[in-house]
């Protein structure tokens, strides 16, 4: 979850209960205020009734209206004053309506009476409901406004962070362009920019040192290996060599060639990891695969392999050298590790590449063979770097690599970005 969304969710989790509690509190206060207002009106009406009885020694009749009316009954003794809510039939409306009722005692002509004043609560409740709805709408609008303001402010405050993140994504160690971050008035982001620039300078220096060391080491190793291999070849051409000496020299020559290939493969891996093949252009894979299969035709014929290919016209953005190395390793492994009289199936579509070939059961799990120096079959010569190079190329090109083995069939599948 993004930080801004996480912050907004926390804001919502805190604000919603607060607004609900505030709304409920406002509504209860409003209802209490309506009741107090009704009770004050009833008390004022009571005073008017008591004054009227005191002056005329009889109960008044002019309080009988649709909103307020009075009833009375004679009692033996005086009753206490009390407020209560009740439902009474409204003849004008023809239905039961809620009323606020005040009952109090009066003394009339030496007799005790209970007088009750009934005031309709309908208008007051409608008023309270209208005010409550108004407050609810007001709270919703206020809540939405606060959320929108919070979002806009958060987006503006965090904009330097997203700008910095975009510049970091474009930063490439292989290029000599320094990391340039835009200035910002926020102290925390300025400190972050300073730390990132210092870190990028150190990382680039370390990267250049490792890159230089790798290239120098590879070059310095390759030269003596070439000299050693040439000298061994010259010794093998001498006629006075014994059979034992020739066998020893042949072992030396074979191991020298192996070390030379290993050195080249490790250098290639280092270059791929260091993004020294960053330049990309559209590569027609169907043509490249066709050329590779033609180049491997003699080896496939020597093993009596049956080759089936279905190549759709597909072009993807990829470094041309990496594309050549990728197809060479995949197709070369498919033929090298094939069985005599086996088959090779190559299927190229818009979504990816699938290569299937007959194969002996590997000694290691298929997923482990993408690691360096892991060989699937100890009986077959190899360095254990072929699939490791394929894996590294796929990682750098945002491809998805899948390898599996089942029932004598090895499958290598590559899916392009956003596919598969």
**148: in domain:** no
Query: For residues 270 and 211, what is the distance between their CA atoms, to the nearest angstrom?
Result: 8
Q: Provide the pLDDT for residue 348.
A: 94
Give strand pairing partners of 189: none
Domain identity same for 214 and 306: no
**387: in domain:** yes
> Where among 129, 156, 171 does a domain terminate?
129
User: Which residues are CB-contacts of 317 (< 8 A; sequence separation ≥ 6)?
Assistant: 280, 281, 282, 283
Q: Provide the pLDDT for residue 419.
A: 43
User: Which pLDDT tens digits describe the chain residue by residue (420 residues)?
Assistant: 565 666 667 767 777 787 778 777 877 787 787 778 888 888 888 888 888 888 888 888 766 665 677 788 878 777 788 888 888 777 666 777 788 888 888 888 888 888 888 887 766 667 767 777 887 788 788 878 877 887 787 777 778 888 888 888 877 776 677 777 878 787 888 888 888 888 888 887 877 777 777 777 766 777 777 778 788 888 878 877 788 888 888 888 888 877 777 777 777 777 777 666 767 889 999 999 999 999 999 999 999 999 999 999 999 888 888 898 899 989 998 998 899 999 999 999 999 999 999 998 888 888 888 887 777 666 666 666 778 888 888 888 889 999 999 999 999 999 987 544
**169: in domain:** no
Domain identity same for 70 and 14: yes
Q: Provide the pLDDT for residue 416.
A: 87
Q: What is the pTM of this model?
A: 0.51
Chain centre to alpha carbon of residue 223 = 50
Which residue in this structure is represented by tokens 């809620």?
98
> Considering all CA atoms of the chain, what is the largest pairwise distance in Å, rounded to the nearest integer?
158
Query: For residues 199 and 285, what is the distance between their CA atoms, to the nearest angstrom?
Result: 39
Residues counted in the chain:
420
Domain identity same for 337 and 266: no
Q: Provide the pLDDT for residue 420.
A: 40
Domain identity same for 328 and 242: no
pLDDT digits (tens, 9 = 90+) for 65-99: 656 777 888 787 777 888 888 887 776 667 777 88
- Answer for the pair 389, 272: CB distance below 8 angstroms, yes or no: yes
- Answer for the pair 330, 292: CB distance below 8 angstroms, yes or no: no
**45: in domain:** yes
> Where among 251, 273, 295 does a domain terminate?
273
Give strand pairing partners of 71: 116
**157: in domain:** no
Query: 306: domain CATH number?
Result: 3.30.565.10
Domain identity same for 338 and 212: no
221: domain range?
187-273
Closest alpha carbon to 340 in 301, 287, 382: 301
Domain identity same for 263 and 287: no
Q: Provide the pLDDT for residue 401.
A: 93
Domain identity same for 258 and 318: no
Domain identity same for 63 and 121: yes
Domain identity same for 291 and 411: yes
**163: in domain:** no
Query: For residues 283 and 353, what is the distance between their CA atoms, to the nearest angstrom?
Result: 14
**139: in domain:** no
Closest alpha carbon to 259 in 218, 211, 212: 218
How would you write the chain as a 3-class SS string?
A: CCHHHHHHHHHHHHHHHHHHHHHHHHHHHHHHHHHHHHHHHHHHHHHHHHHHHHHHCCCCCCCCCCCEEEEEEEECCCCCCEEEEEEEEECCCCEEEEEEEEEEEEEECCEEEEEEEEEECHHHHHHHHHHHHHHHHHHHHHHHHHHHHHHHHHHHHHHHHHHHHHHHHHCCCCCCCCCCCCCCCCHHHHHHHHHHHHHHHHHHHHHHHHHHHHHHHHHHHHHHHHHHHHHHHHHHCCCCCCHHHHHHHHHHHHHHHHHHHHHHHHHHHHHHHCCCCCCCEEEEHHHHHHHHHHHCHHHHHHCCCEEEEEECCCEEEECHHHHHHHHHHHHHHHHHCCCCCCEEEEEECCCEEEEEEECCCCCCCHHHHHCCCCCCCCCCCCCCCHHHHHHHHHHHCCCEEEEEEECCEEEEEEECCCCC
> Where among 240, 273, 306 does a domain terminate?
273
pLDDT digits (tens, 9 = 90+) for 36-57: 888 888 888 888 888 888 888 8
Query: For residues 267 and 53, what is the distance between their CA atoms, to the nearest angstrom?
Result: 115
**325: in domain:** yes
Distances (CA, A) of 304 to 60, 215, 297, 341, 344: 123, 41, 10, 5, 11
Look at the chain and report how many structural domains it folds into: 3
Domain identity same for 221 and 116: no
Domain identity same for 234 and 197: yes
- Answer for the pair 404, 366: CB distance below 8 angstroms, yes or no: yes
Closest alpha carbon to 270 in 203, 212, 199: 212
Query: For residues 352 and 30, what is the distance between their CA atoms, to the nearest angstrom?
Result: 69
Domain identity same for 288 and 397: yes
Query: For residues 232 and 253, what is the distance between their CA atoms, to the nearest angstrom?
Result: 6
Query: For residues 78 and 74, what is the distance between their CA atoms, to the nearest angstrom?
Result: 9
Query: 37: domain CATH number?
Result: 3.30.450
Which residue in this structure is represented by tokens 């029932």?
407
């Amino acid at each position: 979850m993004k930080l801004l969304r996480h912050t907004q969710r926390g804001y919502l989790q805190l604000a919603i209960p607060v607004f609900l509690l505030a709304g409920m509190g406002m509504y209860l206060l409003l209802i209490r205020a309506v009741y107090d207002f009704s009770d004050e009106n009833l008390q004022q009406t009571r005073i008017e009734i008591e004054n009227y009885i005191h002056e005329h020694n009889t109960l008044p009749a002019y309080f009988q209206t649709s909103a307020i009316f009075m009833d009375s009954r004679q009692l033996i003794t005086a009753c206490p004053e009390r407020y209560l809510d009740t439902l009474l039939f409204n003849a004008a409306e023809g239905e039961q309506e809620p009323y606020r009722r005040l009952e109090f005692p009066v003394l009339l002509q030496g007799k005790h009476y209970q007088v009750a004043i009934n005031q309709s609560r309908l208008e007051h409740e409608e008023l309270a409901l209208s005010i409550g709805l108004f407050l609810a709408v007001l709270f919703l609008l206020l809540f939405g406004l606060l959320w929108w303001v919070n979002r806009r402010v958060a987006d503006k405050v965090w904009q330097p962070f997203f700008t910095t993140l975009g510049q970091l994504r474009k930063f490439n160690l292989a290029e000599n362009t320094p990391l340039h971050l835009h200035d910002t008035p926020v102290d925390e982001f300025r400190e972050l920019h300073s730390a990132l620039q210092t870190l990028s300078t150190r990382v680039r220096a370390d990267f250049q040192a490792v890159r230089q060391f790798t290239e120098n080491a590879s070059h310095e190793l390759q030269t003596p290996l070439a000299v050693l291999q040439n000298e061994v070849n010259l010794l093998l051409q001498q006629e006075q060599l014994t059979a034992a000496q020739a066998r020893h020299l042949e072992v030396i020559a074979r191991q020298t060639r192996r070390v030379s290939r290993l050195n080249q493969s490790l250098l290639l891996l280092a270059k791929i990891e260091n993004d020294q093949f960053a330049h990309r252009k559209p590569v027609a894979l169907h043509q490249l695969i066709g050329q590779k299969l033609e180049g491997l035709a003699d080896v496939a014929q020597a093993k009596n392999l049956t080759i089936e290919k279905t190549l759709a016209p597909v072009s993807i953005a990829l470094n041309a050298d990496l594309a050549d190395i990728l197809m060479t390793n995949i197709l070369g492994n498919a033929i090298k590790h094939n069985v005599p009289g086996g088959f090779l199936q190559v299927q190229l579509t818009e979504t990816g590449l699938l290569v299937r070939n007959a194969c002996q059961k590997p000694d290691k799990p298929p997923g482990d063979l993408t690691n360096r120096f892991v060989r699937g079959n100890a009986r077959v010569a190899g360095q254990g770097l072929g699939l490791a190079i394929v894996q590294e190329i796929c990682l750098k090109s945002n491809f998805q690599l899948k390898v599996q083995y089942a029932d004598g069939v090895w499958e290598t599948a590559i899916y392009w970005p956003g596919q598969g």
